[in-house]
């Protein structure tokens, strides 16, 4: 399974950045989907990381007790941890991601086509892998987040201008993406956020709040949550 997941990961990561990105994204920005909530076994370490704008030194990786995307954290906070879809046994995060897209397709086929289009555009792009911290960003628009216990916000991924490709390029901190605490659900929500956020950016969104709210509705298995209503609020 580990070999399978590694193959799936590197196949997916070959995907991500096309030359027409500058036409889609105006100005410098980093994807809020690259944000994660990280908790440490020491309040002192958490304070150090917070002061460094979420940049985690490699010496503190072993002190991480919890690490999940801000999207997953938000979904669990909004709809409850016991009502979130989970990766099934022997299911890779890519397969879980496809399952969530299929859920969207059932609710709204037209909107699903936009997401698949976004996914296919990502297939043309190139990912930058870095075994170290990526630059911090502040476009998550999540003022409601409280730094509880030993938890702070960090970046697992960021998009930066790359002269070599004449466009924005997605950079991933492989230390965090491959960290034992970063679940398959977090990997899937990271990628789903990128697909949805591209659609949102094309509509003129300047932060990731609406994308995060929609992902909460996609992830929940609560029958009382109307996914179509969330899609409508997203702008479709």
Q: 213-232, pLDDT tens digit by residue? A: 899 999 998 888 899 999 98
Percent of the chain residues past pLDDT 90, beyond the cut: 42
Show the CA angle centred on residue 166, arms to residues 165 and 172, nearest 5°.
Answer: 55
pLDDT at 15 over 90: no
Tell me the pairing of strands 127-130 and 167-173: parallel
pLDDT for 103 equals 95
pLDDT at 16 over 70: no
Q: 65-81, pLDDT tens digit by residue? A: 999 999 998 888 777 76
Residue pointed to by tokens 């890779």: 92
Higher pLDDT, residue 55 or 207: 55
Crossing angle for the helix pair 2-13 and 93-107, to the nearest 10 degrees: 60
Residue pointed to by tokens 């995307």: 69
pLDDT at 32 over 70: no
Eight-class DSSP state of 83:
G
- Tell me the pLDDT of the chain averaged across its residues: 80
Q: 116-147, pLDDT tens digit by residue? A: 988 887 666 667 788 999 888 876 666 655 65
How many Å apart are CA 149 and CA 151, to the nearest integer?
Answer: 6
């Amino acid at each position: 399974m580990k070999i399978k997941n590694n193959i799936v990961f590197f196949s997916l990561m070959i995907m991500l950045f096309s030359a027409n990105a500058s036409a889609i994204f105006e100005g410098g920005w980093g994807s809020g989907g690259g944000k994660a909530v990280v908790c440490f076994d020491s309040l002192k370490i958490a304070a150090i990381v917070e002061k460094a704008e979420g940049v985690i030194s490699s010496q503190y990786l072993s002190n991480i007790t919890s690490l999940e995307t801000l999207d997953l954290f938000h979904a669990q906070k909004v709809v409850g941890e016991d009502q979130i879809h989970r990766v099934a046994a022997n299911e890779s995060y890519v397969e879980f991601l496809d399952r969530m897209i299929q859920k969207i397709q059932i609710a709204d086929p037209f909107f699903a086509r936009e997401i698949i289009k976004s996914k296919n555009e990502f297939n043309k792009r190139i990912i930058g892998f870095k075994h170290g911290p990526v630059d911090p960003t502040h476009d998550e628009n999540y003022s409601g987040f409280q730094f509880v216990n030993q938890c702070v916000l960090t970046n697992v991924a960021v998009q930066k201008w790359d002269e070599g490709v004449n466009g924005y390029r997605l950079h991933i901190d492989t230390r965090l993406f491959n960290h034992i605490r970063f679940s398959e659900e977090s990997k899937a929500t990271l990628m789903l956020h990128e697909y949805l956020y591209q659609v949102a950016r094309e509509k003129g969104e300047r932060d990731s709040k609406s994308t995060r709210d929609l992902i909460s509705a996609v992830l929940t298995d609560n029958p009382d949550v109307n996914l179509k209503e969330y899609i409508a609020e997203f702008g479709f």
